[in-house]
A and B are shown apart, each in its own frame.
Chain A
Amino acid sequence: MIRFFSRFLFLAFALSAASSLQAQDDESVFASANRDFEAGDFEAAALKYLSLVEKGRVSPELYYNLGTARYREGKPGEAMLWLRRASVVDPGMPEASQNMEFLRERLAFLEFADSRLDAALRALPPTFGKWLWTVALWVALIALAAAFCLRRLHPNRSGLVTFAVVAGMIAVVGTRISSYRRDHLALENFATVTESDTSALTAPAPAAKSVIDLPPGSEVRILQETGNWRYADIPGDVRGWVRAEKLEPVWPVSRSSR
């Protein structure tokens, strides 16, 4: 028993040490990228930040700095993309919000305007709907089961049944919230225009007519993927086809992300 316990402790220590060394290594790369940035070598800084992204590191500071470096490189669309990602990881990050406001004034790109409902739902945790409907459904089932299976609760049977019905209705609301969030608010549906000279077209063909110009940094909601084209919902109740290489999903961050 003692032997097993000592082996377990050794393994845990080894894993912890390896993780700590990895974090230190990543922080030194981050610091080196910061020095490149401050020396004015924005391209080298961006490459170092990207190397951390490709390793799967997620950090609001990393995404924020990468966005700032991309802007200094003259790539405002990618700058906006990384600042949005920084805001996903840390929704209260004021630096990212301020720089996004700066880009908003400078680029005049298109963005979805949140309704009050959208804003309220965005303020909730992403898994709120899922938690709500599952917990409410369990509570309804347990109340029903208790009403009919537990003799002591037979006198309260009608109250328990009423409670179960209310819980069932809450579960329905939870499923609606969950599906609305998945279809309209889920980050996986959104993409940012990273290239200049981008337009939404009437059909997935290069010769199709333009619907609207999409300045770098514009936000679209992907509705359908067809080959190299994406059918997108565009702010202003407009829809059109956009070349896939002009877009980059906001989340999840691809490890081969630009």
Chain B
Amino acid sequence: MPRFFPSLLAFCLAFANGPLDAQQSGDSKVSANVLTDRVAVGEFGTLIIKVTGGETAAPEGVATEGLEIVKSGSQSSITIADGKQSLVTSHFYRFRGNEPGAYEIPPVELSVRGESVTTKSIPVEIFERSPEDEARSPTREFFAKLEVSRDEFYVNEIVPFNITAYVRGRNAISQVLSPTLDHESFVSKGFRDVRTDGGDMGNTYYSSAVIDSHLFALKPGRHRLGPGELGVRILDSRGGFGLSIFPRTVTRELSTDVVDVTVKPLPNGAPASFTGGVGYFELSAKASATEVNLGDPVSMEIEVKGVGNLRTLGPPAFSVPQKGIWKTYEASKTLEDEDESDGFKPGRAVFSQVIIPEAKVGEIPAYELAFFDPDTEQYVTRHTEPIPISISVNADRNRSAPAAISFPPNAEAGESFERAETPTASYSDMLHIRTGRPRWVAEAELSSTGLPFLVAQILFSLGLFTILGIGAARGIARVRSARSDAAPILTFAQSLKRLPKAGTTRREFYRAASTSLMLWKSEHPEAPGEVHDVVARVSERCEAYLYGGSEDGTEPVSKPEVEEFRSILHRLPRR
């Protein structure tokens, strides 16, 4: 049932858009390919006849001696380019041979919109499989097969392949699960469409499910593809409460065989505009505007159509460098999944690029794209047509001084300007190394406090200890002074109390009396003159005794003498 949907969709689209032939491209093209040209005896190979540009009725079978070729389905799609629709129909045929040998699928004649077109003949080989190859033995209940359309191809070339699951019995496959084909040197597209089919193999009927895809190789060399893996849900009529209308399903994991392929490197001598394309492409370009001012951006749309690796294809570029004439920005690519080429069906990729005229020229120059055509094994270069353009010089834009005067714009006059965005740095890669002379740094500079710290500590400690030393010296001097004056007389009154009594030596008594008189004089400088005279006379008497040298001073002082001095001293006026 799923295989009818594409046809139905194509029919509906064609109906909705009116008569297809009225709008479609006038080019009709028919091609025929086999997925593999070596098929084991009794096994099925796949023939695909692709018709582009119109509807056609394909025969249900192709009569060939030694080969059985039967139609197994068809699939249609519509591509729209430049406003023109193009219908592409793929007709799938199963073929097999029962005797080993070399055969040829004959040309198939088809009628497309009244024109008769013929496919080319395709040689195929039917070979006897070795008995030890158990994987595809018809005695097995289920097995899987990997078919690659070519066993020798180029790097980046799109190569269709399919994985087919075979299960014994009619309508035995309920669902196909997670097909995979992994290889580090190949990129394969995801598996999408499943075609179911069936046929006799030996004397046994097998249901088959075919999953188409395509791949391309990343590096040259001899590689072994596979085994591919897939799961199938197989109908088991034994289950389901004993009723066949509720069949039970069981899931089986299948592995395909392997296929050895040779991937050839692309030859040297690629043109400068080669951007990795392998296949066959057509190129066209159109501009968003053909009348612009100098410096205004023009958006270019460059369309690449054809069969090949559109997914990895780089953008076309001007065929002649345009430095100083056209400023170009990086092109972006748009490639929808349904527009991708599968190796048979042509695809379509659109590159968008902004270009800005920097000089007054009359045309947008031609774009150029070089690619490698694996059929002719040569590099091919395609060019677009130059696009005429009218570039006018905007007077305001080029008049620098007045522009500067009128900036900022006069809001009242309704002028406005677009605020430019400040560019920001993008860290897309590391900066290069520094190649100048290195600055050698002493490690000690980084973290230690170093000599200045030590010097500062010494200076601070010197200052502190100097001050402490001064203080200590003063303290010591004070202590010494205190010790030398054991009983210091501080006042005249105190000296009177300490005046010796009768019986002490006369020298000691007179010295104490003299001291008392001196203290009185120092404490009473403002006393009347007559009192000072009395004190002076008594002092002279004391000094005469003490320093006259006539007495030895050791004799005791008499009581009357002591009383006399006491009475004089006590009578002296005090403050």
Contact = CB atoms under 8 A, between A and B. Distances in A.
Given A71-B430, A150-B471, A59 B460 contact: no
B430 A27 contact: no
Contacts of B471: 145, 148-150
Interface in B438-463: 438-443, 446-449, 453, 456-457, 460-461, 463
A65 B434 contact: yes
B22 interface: no
A149 B438 contact: no
A112 to B, nearest CB: 19
B464 A95 contact: no
A134 B468 contact: no
B368 to A, nearest CB: 32
A185 to B, nearest CB: 12
Contacts of B425: 98
Contact of B427 (A38, A102, A127): A102
Interface string B464-493: 100110111010000000000000000000
Contact of B464 (A72, A105, A142): A142
B467 A142 contact: yes
**Interface class of chain A by DSSP:** helix
A97 B35 CA distance: 57
A131 B449 contact: yes
A30 B440 CA distance: 11
Interface in A84-101: 88-90, 95, 98-99, 101
Contact of A105 (B427, B440, B457, B463): B427
B460 A30 contact: no
Contacts of A57: 440
A90 B425 CA distance: 22
A150 B467 contact: yes
B439 A60 contact: yes
Given A102-B429, A102-B430, A142-B463, A59 B441 contact: yes
B116 interface: no
Chain B interface bracket (under 10, 10 to 19, 20 to 34, 35 or more): 35 or more
Given A23-B440, A146-B467, A95 B434 contact: yes
A151 B443 contact: no
Contact of A61 (B432, B436, B453, B467): B436
B309 to A, nearest CB: 29
A135 interface: yes
Nearest to A145: B467
B429 to A, nearest CB: 7
B464 A56 contact: no
Contacts of A150: 467, 470-471
Contacts of A151: 474
Given A142-B467, A145-B467, A98 B438 contact: no
A87 to B, nearest CB: 12
A130 B441 contact: no
A236 interface: no
A58 B430 contact: no
A246 to B, nearest CB: 23
B443 A56 contact: yes
A103 B427 CA distance: 9
Contact of A64 (B427, B434, B448, B463): B434
30 contacts: A38-B433, A56-B443, A58-B441, A58-B446, A59-B439, A60-B441, A65-B434, A69-B433, A71-B430, A89-B441, A89-B446, A98-B431, A99-B430, A102-B429, A127-B453, A130-B449, A130-B453, A131-B449, A131-B453, A135-B456, A138-B457, A141-B464, A142-B460, A142-B463, A142-B467, A145-B467, A149-B468, A150-B467, A187-B447, A251-B446
